[in-house]
Homo-oligomer: A and B are copies of this chain.
Amino acid sequence: MTPDDVRYDERGLVPAIVQQHDSGEVLMLAWMTRETLAETLAGGETVFWSRSRGQRWHKGETSGNTQHVVAVTADCDGDVVLVQVDQGGAGVACHTGRRSCFHRPVAR
Contact = CB atoms under 8 A, between A and B. Distances in A.
Contacts of A82: 26, 102
A29 B15 contact: yes
B76 A106 contact: no
Q: Is the interface of A mostly helix, strand, loop or mixed?
A: mixed
Contacts of A77: 101
This protein's copies in its complex: 2
Given A102-B75, A105-B1, A25 B24 contact: yes
A29 to B, nearest CB: 5
Contacts of A23: 24
A106 B37 contact: yes
Contact of A41 (B28, B102, B108): B108
Given A15-B15, A105-B1, A108-B42, A95 B76 contact: yes
13 contacts: A1-B105, A1-B106, A2-B107, A19-B24, A24-B24, A29-B75, A73-B104, A74-B104, A74-B106, A76-B94, A76-B96, A76-B101, A76-B104
